[in-house]
Amino acid sequence: PLSTPSTPPKSNTTDKYAFAFDIDGVLIRGGRPIPEAIEAMKVLNGQNVYGVKIPYIFVTNGGGKTEQERCIQLSKQMEIEVSPGQFICGHTPMREMAAKYGTVLVVGGEGEKCRQVAEGYGFKDVVTPGDIIKDNPDTTPFRKLTKEEYDSSRARDFSKTEIEAIFVFADSRDWAGDQQIILDLLLSKRGVLGTRSETFDDGPPVFFSHNDVVWSASHDLTRLGMGALRLSLEAMYKAVTGKELNTTAYGKPQIGTFQFATRLLQQWRKDTHGIDAPPETVYFVGDTPESDIRGTNDFNKTSENTWYSILVRTGVYEQGTKPKFEPKFTADHVLEAVLHGVEREQR
């Protein structure tokens, strides 16, 4: 041949390592970016002394909106382009449950958003607490639907509906009302509202998208999260029935979430960077020892890849205390965490 085929220019994206980030308390606080986070994203995108680009994904326990919507928001906040292909929130793995259940109750979040998320996952028949209150306002003596809620809620005859499972997708905006409705279902005969089981053991299962008792929002001190609702519900159930309530939580620190994240990262590296082998190291940067550090460390024990935990001081973890779960490294903020990983790789 007259000419040899030209080889594509060598990419300066590293195939050796990658980053995964928690969001609240690491990149964002109360809807506002943590300034060092924007700088950290620049470092990942090649603005570092080595000129190397580093693949990354996001793994948050938060939720309440579609992945698409959350990515648009995060893109603006971090001044980068974030794709749903590199993003997992607490309820993302719940989509695998869509085929298993018929009618489900979805709890939490703003307005109709979580219903839309669940329907987007393929859940066939999604009921919200608003639907139940619209059908029977006596359900929640102290909660009245606003006009907007009333208009968007879908009333039906719940005495003829079997609710097969309960999913808490995002933080409840009305603990009293939502807990009343969940409790009614747990005490019912096979999820039919208005009935009472004699044994209290044929109610629907309850799934939470995560188990964070506290999280880092705009207030200086941590705020109650979904894990607190879970504790409250379990205590209430025990007080009413004398029995233990077993519920299931998704999200970090569950191993399943890290397995899901590993698959996502693999696909992301392949599709976007043409890398078809697992990274040697995944640096996970989080602020909550109980979720982020615990999960990373536990997963590291089971996986062939090395997940490396980094704890930052910008969120739930309080400076000066000993974290319940020991990270491999502690940084003041996410920029220091990223630079630590990059330097460690160049050694």
**Site for Mg ion, rule CB under 5 A:** 22, 24-25, 287-288
Nearer to ligand G3P, 24 or 184 (CB): 24
334 binds ligand G3P (CB under 6 A): no
Q: Per CB under 6 A, which of residues 15..34 are in contact with ligand G3P?
A: 22-25
Peptide bond into 279 cis (omega under 30): no
Name the one range near ligand G3P by CB under 6 A: 46-54, 57-65, 140-148, 265-273.
57-65
Task: For Mg ion, give the closer residue by CB, 117 or 312.
Answer: 312
Rounded to the nearest whole angstrom, what is the least distance from the CB of residue 216 to Mg ion in the complex? 6
Which one, 23 or 193, has the nearer CB to ligand G3P?
A: 23
Closest contact distance (angstroms) between CB of 9 and ligand G3P is: 36
Tell the smallest beta-carbon distance from residue 225 to ligand G3P (Å): 4
Taking the complex as a whole, the smallest distance from the CB of residue 296 to Mg ion amounts, in Å, to 12
| Residue 115 binding partner per list Mg ion, ligand G3P, none, with a CB distance cut-off of 5 to 8 Å that depends on partner kind | none
**Contacting ligand G3P (CB under 6 A), which of 215, 237, 250, 258?**
215
169 binds ligand G3P (CB under 6 A): no
- Please count the residues of this chain forming the interface with ligand G3P, following the rule CB under 6 A: 13
**Whole-number Cα distances in Å, 13 to 196, 263, 272, 309:** 60, 19, 10, 22
Q: How far is the CB of 25 from ligand G3P (least distance, A)?
A: 5
Give me the least distance between CB of 22 and ligand G3P, in Å please: 5
Q: Of the listed pieces 80-88, 155-163, 197-205, 210-218, which binds ligand G3P according to CB under 6 A?
A: 210-218
| C-alpha 30: how far from chain center | 16
Interface residues toward ligand G3P, by CB under 6 A:
22-25, 60-62, 171, 210, 212, 215, 225, 288
